[in-house]
Amino acid sequence: MSKIFEALSNISHLDDLSRGNSLVHRLHPFSKFIVTVVFLVVVVSFEKHRISALVPFIFYPLVMLWLANVPMGPIFKQVLLTEPLIIGVGILNPIFSQESITVWGLSISGGWVIFLSIIIKCTLTVTAGLCYVATTGMEHIALTLRMLRVPKVLVLQFVLTYRYITVLAQQMGRMVRAYNLRSVGSVGSKGSRRNKGIGKSTWGSLLGQLILRTFDRADRIYVAMCLRHFQGEYHTGKIRRFGLPDVLFCVGCSAMFIVAGYVNISVWLGNLLLGGAH
């Protein structure tokens, strides 16, 4: 249970990473949004057997994180949290897909190739999404959504949910910690007290207290927003206009992704190197 609360609390760490001042952070959020969408569309549109063509797309999130001076460890930890779900989605393919594929002269079950393709595609898309959040920030993402004419009610709900889910996780973590400190637990073999966690009979009262505290916190947040002249619009401050670096980044990266979607760069480089060797 504590690992779940810790994972939810670490969500706000992405916002802390987005406050950098690197070249990537200074790009217009809408240009990064367009590039990320093009990246996702091209990666997802690949045929299920073209695994080698996905290899060049691995470098985009890595280079973006490196240029933004964002540590890769926290990003990869967030990606690893989604891997069990990704594996669960694709694990049945080796069972239902019995076709054989010849790779480098070897006959391989097509189901395992599809399974590997699903893992690579999902990992790339999740990593690109986290990279976008870590280099842009939720406030600028909300501004991008408003530029796309997304209703302000949906944008406000999205931002408040993202911002205060960590508050909810911290509150629940404090309640669980207080319960563990006050519970007696069972006696171990050496006379020590062991806590077996929260009993089923206690969950109802804990959830009731959490709901009451949530209502109280929400009321205080709303009063604070009204005192600051909140009128239903989430203001993110001023943002600069599109510049030449934004246009070059948007057009250049999108063009490279589209070209890589039609040309298998891995095979092309392999044939070039092997041809040069001969």
pLDDT for 194: 53
| Percent of the chain residues topping a pLDDT of 90 | 17
Q: Which carries the bigger pLDDT value, residue 238 or residue 269?
A: 269
Per-residue pLDDT tens over the stretch 255-278: 999 998 888 877 777 777 776 544
- Distances in whole angstroms, Cα of residue 58 to Cα of each of 39, 49, 51, 155, 272: 11, 17, 12, 30, 21
Which residue pairs, CB below 8 angstroms and at least 24 apart, start in 254-260? 254/34, 254/35, 254/38, 257/35, 257/38, 257/39, 257/42, 257/57, 257/60, 258/38, 258/42, 260/42, 260/53, 260/56, 260/57
Provide the pLDDT confidence category of residue 239 given band limits of 50, 70 and 90.
low
Least confident of 103-112, 129-138, 214-223, 236-245: 103-112
For position 248, what pLDDT does the model report?
93
Taking residues 219-246, report their average pLDDT: 77
Partners of 248 in the beta sheet?
Answer: none
What is the reported pLDDT for 249? 92
pLDDT band at 219 (very low <50, low <70, confident <90, very high): confident
The pLDDT-based confidence of 66 (bands split at 50, 70, 90) is: very high
**CA neighbor of 264 nearest in space, from 39, 126, 57, 115:** 57
Q: What is the pLDDT of residue 185?
A: 55
pLDDT value at position 34? 93
For 157-177, the pLDDT digits (tens) are 888 887 777 777 777 777 777
Q: Which of 31-45, 123-137, 178-192 has the lowest mean pLDDT?
A: 178-192
70 vs 202 pLDDT, higher one: 70
Looking at every residue in the chain, the average pLDDT score rounds to 79
For residue 250, what pLDDT is reported? 92
Q: What is this structure's pTM?
A: 0.77
Query: Is the model's pLDDT at 187 over the cut of 50?
Result: no
